[in-house]
Amino acid sequence: MKTGNSISRAWSGAWAVARRELSAYFRQPAGWIIVALYLLLCGAVFSVMVLAPARPATMRPFFDVAGWLLLPVVPAVAMRLFAEEYRTGTIEPLATSPASSLTLVLGKYAGGAIFLACMFAPTLVYPALLTVYSDPAPDLGPIATGYLSLALVAGLYLAVGIAASAGTSNATLAFMTTLFVVLGFLLAGWLGRSLDDPWRSMLYRLSIPSRTGDFAKGIIDTSHVVFFGGAIAWCLALTVGIVQWRRWR
């Protein structure tokens, strides 16, 4: 009974933090600017690479560059999650509350993830347009798995960003740290081409494009899902450790 009550309180606390973060994104102009920037990039890619004449109706070119489209966007979403709280001192009520560090981290991560989901929602008009106006209509399987890869990549970027934000009170530094770490994931396969094994194989396994390519084809490889899930969990565990250390300090 006590375990159930503890889980319920933790869930309620995390959801309260998530709602607080989500409302903060939409109260500030920066949140709307981030959404507008992402949709502008997506619209440009869709119109140039997907709607090209004489090409088959497929979203694969869009999903192939999805990781790059998120590169300037997700670090901007994640950078303020903890860094801005440390800078302004608004972290104090949260740090002294009964909520655990895990609850705070999961709540902030969930708030950022829901904001990203709201940002992705308008892009669903793209497959709808292809379905209505293309003959033959596109296969919905690769589109579904493509959006799954988009969610996994965004989740990983956000997890890296929240860890960077927890480690500093400078939001700009958190943004740059996230940007370069994510860029490393994107370029890992390319950098490994000039190296010998085992380094080449290791970097290839860390490469995001080498893993999202299968999703864009409609293939769900469980090893890819495990990679993203494990990397997200590791980053969140690191964030919990950083937050707990700062609370003790």
Tell me: the pLDDT tens digits for 134-158?
777 788 888 999 999 999 999 999 9
Per-residue pLDDT of 27-84, as tens digits, reads 888 889 999 999 999 999 888 888 777 677 788 888 888 889 999 999 999 998 898 8
Task: Please give the average per-residue pLDDT across 73-97, as a whole number.
Answer: 82
Q: Amino acid letter at 34?
A: I
Tens digits of residue pLDDT in 15-40 = 888 998 899 899 888 889 999 999 99
Q: Which domain holds residue 104?
A: 2-248
Mean predicted lDDT score pLDDT of the chain: 86
Q: Which amino acid, 48? A: V
What is the per-residue DSSP string for 124-145?
GHHHHHHHHH-SSPPPHHHHHH
Average the pLDDT over 193-218 and give the result.
Answer: 81
Residue 213: how many CB atoms within 10 A of its CB?
17
Nearest by Cα to 216 from 58, 99, 78, 55: 58
Q: What's the whole-model pTM score?
A: 0.90
The total of structural domains in the chain comes to 1
Separation CA 98–CA 193 (nearest Å): 50
